[in-house]
């Protein structure tokens, strides 16, 4: 079991290593799992990226396990909130109380697996008094099988993405018997009391609501207020944020939803210091290092949104954003991107309970494409695809992703030999003006297959074994949807670029 965990950590190292605390010491990395009832408290212990938590207050991982049918199952995994020394390197325990046991350990991902060593008398009279060797073996075997499944999917997925990266690996997973039970049911809604909500200043207006900077329970937040007439869009966006496992550094953190005293529905979200990506790029010329931070976090966020993700018996189905634009991406205090504004998004549930989500995909408005015109893919502009097919919606997101990468890199002074007079432009603004019409875009994008112009030097911007910037963009916005990269593959290509730039 220890060897399996070591291999898993080594394979994932390139994606999760390199995080350090403020004092320069490496941050402890712990397996993360939290149910809806303790999610809000759990994320206070450190930043979360998928199923990994980076500890902000301690070097200890914690694991809380519940005895169910003679087996210990995770109830909460993550970073400890206490600054006490870690008693053990590994997660091990020999006692439990009221069917729960807790371990505290001091090595990366040590809380992924608990070693049970029954010895001292238990603290309760009812229930199991000891765990047999067979039960321990069953737990270890189950965890080993799960890790082997992850290793196989990583190895196969990496090989395919390295050579072709053309097909959506999330849609290709037809071996349902190898997965945990599919569950597309909602988690309980994170309703919060907004009676004491305070609005400080107006920030922006979006397609469906107004965004204010405010405070909730003493914390500065972004409060998105929806007019009552847009209650359907509020419900949809709340449902997206409330999906199981919908916690990722590249997706705006969700605190909860409620209603203001005036009756307007409200979403409480993490406040993004720099506003939208559009606003950020309009105010400053960026360096290559800053451009890479924006780009990597953007593509990782979309890749996670598109993923069909299982963890600890929970399931996050793929989600298509459908309105990806520089106004719907936020720039956080650390210069990274986070996706927001899911009012047009669609949940693509691949399992039997798909009917439960029909309201997010089959409303009357869905008979026509939605989104921001200049970011819409050729097939969506022409309405030549069946919008009931989930794959085309993911491919449309990747097309828009290519335009966002182009938009970001066009503001990078290092890509223009140090020029500081660069001006932020929207896609197709140079070719068609600031507000192109549907007819103009149909002719230029669909019929003529035109794309935003790129400097010729971008064909040479790459490192050893990497793709050039031009190749990445062209493979994202390919006219043929089936030939486009997936978001996951785009993230892998961006990750292969380094901060060493040579023109």
For residue 437, report the phi and psi dihedrals to the nearest 5 degrees.
Answer: -85, 170
Q: Which residues pair with 212 in a beta bridge?
A: 202, 223
Distances, alpha carbon 115 to alpha carbons 75, 87, 312, in Å: 16, 14, 17
The whole-angstrom distance between residue 364's C-alpha and the CA centroid of its chain comes to 28
Active site residue 323: yes
E runs forming strands in 217-253: 219-225
Helix (H) or strand (E) holding 4, with range, is: helix 2-16
* Cα–Cα dist 371/277, whole Å: 17
Half-sphere exposure of 84 (CA within 13 A, CB side): 10
Distances, alpha carbon 327 to alpha carbons 178, 361, 410, in Å: 39, 23, 16
Q: Which residues pair with 88 in a beta bridge?
A: 105
DSSP per residue, 268-328? EEE--TT-BHHHHHHH--B-HHHHHHHHHHHHHHHHHHH--EEETTEEE--EE-S--STTS
* Cα–Cα dist 345/367, whole Å: 14
Neighbour tally for 171: CB within 10 Å? 16
| Active-site residue (options: 75, 108, 323, 397) | 323
Q: Is 205 helix (H, G, I), strand (E, B) or coil?
A: strand
* Cα–Cα dist 310/51, whole Å: 10
Long-range contacts of 269-272 (CB under 8 A, 24+ apart): 269/221, 269/222, 269/223, 269/224, 269/340, 270/221, 270/222, 270/332, 270/338, 271/213, 271/220, 271/221, 271/222, 272/222, 272/330, 272/331, 272/332, 272/333, 272/338, 272/340
Q: Which residues pair with 92 in a beta bridge?
A: 115
Q: Is 41 helix (H, G, I), strand (E, B) or coil?
A: helix
Helix (H) or strand (E) holding 64, with range, is: strand 61-68
Helix (H) or strand (E) holding 429, with range, is: helix 429-432
Nearest to 399 by CA among 296, 302, 289: 302
Cβ proximity of 419 and 367 under 8 Å = no
Cβ proximity of 287 and 417 under 8 Å = no
Q: What is the b/e burial string over 435-469, where b = at least 16 CB atoms within 10 angstroms of the residue's CB? A: ebeeebbbebbbeeeebbebbeebeebbeeebbbb
Q: Which residues belong to the active site?
A: 323
């Amino acid at each position: 079991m220890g060897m399996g965990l070591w291999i898993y950590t080594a394979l994932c190292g390139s994606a999760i290593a390199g995080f350090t605390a403020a004092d320069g010491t490496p941050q402890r990395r712990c397996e993360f799992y939290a149910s809806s009832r303790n999610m809000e408290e759990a994320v206070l212990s450190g930043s979360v990226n998928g199923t990994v938590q980076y500890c902000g207050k301690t070097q200890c991982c914690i694991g809380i396990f519940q005895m169910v049918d003679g087996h210990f199952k995770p109830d909460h995994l993550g970073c400890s909130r206490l600054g006490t020394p870690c008693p053990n390197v590994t997660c091990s325990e020999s006692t439990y109380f009221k069917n729960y046991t807790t371990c505290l350990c001091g090595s990366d991902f040590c809380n992924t697996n608990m070693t049970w060593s029954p010895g001292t008398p238990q603290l309760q009279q009812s229930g199991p008094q000891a765990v047999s060797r067979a039960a321990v073996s069953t737990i270890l075997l189950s965890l080993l099988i799960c890790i082997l499944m992850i290793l196989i999917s990583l190895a196969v997925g990496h090989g395919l993405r390295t050579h072709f990266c053309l097909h959506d690996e999330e849609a290709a997973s037809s071996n349902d018997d190898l997965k945990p039970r599919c569950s597309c049911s909602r988690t309980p809604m994170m309703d919060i009391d907004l009676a004491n909500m305070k609005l400080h200043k107006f920030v922006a207006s979006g397609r469906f609501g107004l965004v204010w900077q405010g405070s909730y329970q003493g914390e500065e937040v972004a409060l998105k207020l929806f007019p009552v007439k847009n209650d359907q869009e509020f419900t949809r966006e709340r449902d997206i944020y409330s999906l199981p496992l919908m916690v990722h550094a590249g997706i705006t953190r969700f605190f909860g939803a409620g209603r203001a005293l005036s009756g307007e529905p409200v979403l409480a979200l993490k406040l993004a210091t720099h506003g939208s990506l559009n606003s950020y790029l309009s105010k400053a010329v960026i360096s290559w290092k800053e451009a890479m931070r924006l780009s990597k976090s953007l593509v990782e966020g979309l890749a996670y949104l598109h993923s069909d993700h299982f963890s600890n018996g929970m399931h996050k189905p793929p989600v298509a954003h459908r309105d990806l634009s520089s106004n719907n991406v936020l720039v956080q205090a650390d210069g990274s991107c986070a996706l927001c504004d899911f009012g047009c998004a669609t949940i693509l549930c691949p399992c039997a309970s798909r009917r439960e989500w029909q309201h997010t995909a089959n409303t009357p408005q869905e008979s026509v494409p939605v989104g921001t015109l200049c970011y819409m893919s050729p097939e969506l502009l022409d309405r030549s695809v069946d919008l009931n097919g989930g794959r085309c919606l993911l491919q449309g997101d990747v097309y828009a992703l290519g335009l966002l990468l182009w938009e970001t890199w066009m503001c990078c002074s290092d890509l223009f030999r140090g020029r500081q007079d660069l001006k932020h432009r929207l896609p197709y603004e140079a070719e068609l003006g600031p507000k192109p019409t549907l007819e103009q875009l149909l002719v230029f994008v669909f019929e003529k297959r035109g794309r935003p112009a790129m400097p010729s030097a971008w064909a040479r911007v790459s490192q050893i074994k990497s793709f050039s910037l031009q190749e990445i963009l062209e493979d994202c916005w390919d006219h043929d949807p089936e030939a486009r990269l997936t978001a996951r593959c785009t993230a892998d290509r961006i990750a292969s670029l380094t901060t060493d730039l040579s023109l």
